[in-house]
Each structure stands twice: as C-alpha cells, then as structure tokens.
Structure 1
Amino acid sequence: MADRMTQTTDEDLITATGHPTHAHDYHQLLYAPLGRITVTTPDGEHELTSPLALWLPAGTPHSARFDPESLVLAESFDPALHRLPFARTTAVHLDGAARRHLLARTRGEGAEVDDAVMFAALTCARNHRDARLPLPRPTSEAARAVAGTLLRSPDDQRTATEWAESLYVSATSLRRAFRAETGIAFSEWRTRVRLNHSLALLSRGHQVGAVAAKVGFTSTNGYILAFRRHFGRTPGVWIKEHEGRSPGPSGRARSAPSARKPVAGE
C-alpha cells in the first residue's frame, strides 16, 4: 500500500465533486459501484459505471469528476510488490466476485483476502476492449420501444424530441425515463449502443470510416473521439490489439505472451 503521507496528501485534494490533476507513486484501481465518475488521463476521458473499473499505473497524471450521489472506491497497490500487467491506463470489467470483495473491504470485512490475492483477481479481470459497454434497459413502454429500435438500428438519427412525437409522449418524460431507468442520459445510451455495434464491425475488418457511418455517427472524427473516450484507445489501436488475438493460419487463435501473475515480495 502507499505510505501514509502520500495518502493524506491525496485525500486533501478530493472533494464531493472530484479532484484536480495529480499522480500517485502507487498503482490505483478506481471503481464506482453507484453512480458515475469520469477520469481524465493523458489517454483521454474514461467514464466509469459499474461493472467497469479503471487501472491507473503508478505515475499516471489524472483528474476526476464525480456525479452527485456516486460512490467511489479506490484500491492502491505498491508497485514494488505488485507488478501491474498494464503499461497504460486500462479499463477492466469486474465480475461479481471481485465486486463483492471490493465492497466487503470498505466495510472492514474481507480481511481474509490479502493484497496479493486481491491484486491477482483484479488484474485478471477482462480488459475493456473485450467487454461491451454496460447498457441497462429501460422499463417504461415508450423508452423501451425506443431502446428496442436503436438496438436493431443504431444508425437511426431521430432525436429524443422526434421519438417523443412519434410515441405521443413529451420529450421531457422520455429523457427522464432513460435517466431514471438506466442511470444514463438518452444521448449517452444511444452512443453506447452505437459503440457496442461498432466493435463487431471492426472485428470483421470494416474500415473505421465505414463503421462510423454504419452505426450512426455523422462524422468519422466524432466516432473516433467517442470510441477513445469510452474505451481509452482509438479504433485503429483497438483493431491492432484485436488482430493479435485473431485466428492464425492453423485456425487456432494466436495468443499474446501471458503476463506472469504478480507475486507478493517481488
């Protein structure tokens, strides 16, 4: 863990709405089991809602914005004892067991899960590039109808106002339904649908510009910016990383060298 002086200095920077740019001399995992936080690093903006978490390697400059009523958890690990397999800011998808352990530690429970075990579990989480963005489904009739159409046709360009008119509801009610029932705004929900669809197209070899148009972005640049904000990398970088895991000539997947599991005391 980080020393007491470093932790005290960091706590002094944190307010109810976030903290300014700073860096740690330890690795840190940020997670928001409730609400949403936005972390800005040299790689871009990373929006975190459960079950996504973010690894910040030691020395990474970052700032954060916290949404009202969000709950933010942070786990820190000494880089001299724990070898992080990520060289850059990396979002990971936490499974149910990892989330339960993190929450237990905030209650003073889970002492039986030592740092080495916890670190290994968190670094074995799936990389964000392998996970689709979380997309909670709305439950009210009008919002559910909009969501169903967008899931089938993410390139539908109708605005919330246009959707509301076609469904004979108010635009304000429709927007409130998305926010209340999914935890995210209509525009953000639609962006996530488009980005999730784009991953399949990229993996099948479609060009970035063509993918942007197919999923409904009005410009390639807008697509690239949205992709980087949510996935921490551009579509081009994602394609290169994905190619490293695609089937080789023998038909079997090529695997990158596996990172050695961290061992306490190294």
Structure 2
Amino acid sequence: MSVTRRTLVSPTTVRLIHRERIEWHDHAVHQLAYPIRGVLQVSTSRGAWVVPPNRAVWIPAGVAHSHRAHGPTELRSLIFDVPVNPLAVDVPTVLAVSPLLREVIRALTDNDGLEPEHRDHLEAVALWQLREVEALPLWLPTPTDPRLVRLCEILAGDPADPRTLGELGRQVGAADRTLSRLFREQTGITFPQWRGQLRLHHALKLLATGLPVTRVAADCGYRSPSAFIEAFRAAFGTTPGRYMAAGEGRPRD
C-alpha cells in the first residue's frame, strides 16, 4: 500500500461523485472530516468507518486512510495542530454532529475571507463542541487471519448472504468454533455483531444512493423492512428515512 502525504493548511470543501475514491494518504495534522451531504467511507489498516450525514470522523495526524463516496458527497474538513486533541484518541472516531457544530463547520469552510479573530472564535466553538459530542459505534474492524479475511470478503460482496458461520466455515476451510474464537480475538466483537455492523454499513451506502427502505432491507439481508427499521433505530436512534432526510439525503420510505 502506497501512502501519500497530503498537505492541509486550512478548512476545505471537496465534492465527490458517487463511488469516487480518494486513495491512501495521511496528514501532518488532525482532520475532522464531515460529509454535509452523502455518505463517506473512511478505511484504515484497522478497519472501515461509514460516516453518514450529521456525523463526522476524527482522523488523527499520521493515520493512513482512504475515502470513498456513496451518493453525491460534499466533504467538509477542519484541521487541528497535533497538540490539539479534544477527543484524546489516537484512532479514527465517528462523532455525532450537533446543529451548532454543523453550522460552525459550514461557516469555517464557506468563508475563506473570515477575519482571523472571527475564525479563532469559531474554531474555539468547534473545539468546545468536540469535547461534548458522543462517539458512535460505526467501526467495522478488519481481521488478519486469512480464513477470516476470505469470509469477510464473501459477506462484503453479498451482505444478504444468509449462511451460518458453520456453513461459511466449510467454504473457507475452518470450523465454526475456530472462526468464532478468532472473530473475538481479532476484532473484539462476535461474528453476529460483526455481520450486523456490516449490514448497517451497507444500508447507509445504499440509502445514500436514494434506494427505498424496502429495497435496502432486502439487499442487506433483513427478514423484513420492519426488522431493518428496528435494527437501524437501535443503532442510530431514529428511522432510516428520518435519519437520511435530516442530513440532506432523502430516500423514499
């Protein structure tokens, strides 16, 4: 994997088309990446984060990562010097974005001509908000065992695959007990939890393209639209339709 150092010196706005990718790179500063529209997938060697509207991801300085857009995506970024780390984390972290933080990010990225004093005030508000926001469990960890890697590739290609761990194990050459143990050791979560996260990640990507909730539920392997809506509500606190409409992506219910 080749990693390029990309220089960020000020808040930026990048518009990406559906499926557009920004290849592996890192920064010398911390980055707060916020898709004000669309859904952004952030990948690192440790796994992937899916960032929908009204969420942002904190990417620490020096962490190699890539981006992929799902749906037309508008990426807004703030930067912070290395000593400034209000979250006190050294791994990417997905955050809830409050209405105030959203408007501060918008103001900082929309106005190149802000007076330095005004910019300093807005950045101070952003830091205050970042100390208060909630981290969200949107990480899909990547295992290293070749059998698990193959199994994860199979499910990523078809998240609706209904096969049990034992059935998948026969395809990758390992017993279900072995795979279950390896999942816990290498990802920190169980196989059912991992598959649930994968399906939610896939659902966010599909919703960003405007697919109706009923189609998304089927494509992600939920037994019914109501089961999908309930799983989504448990993870995000709202329904899929309301969630995306709040972030300017508006799928049909």
TM-score when normalising by structure 1? 0.46
Structure with bigger strand share is 2
State the TM-score, normalized to the length of structure 2: 0.49
Larger Rg over CA atoms: 1
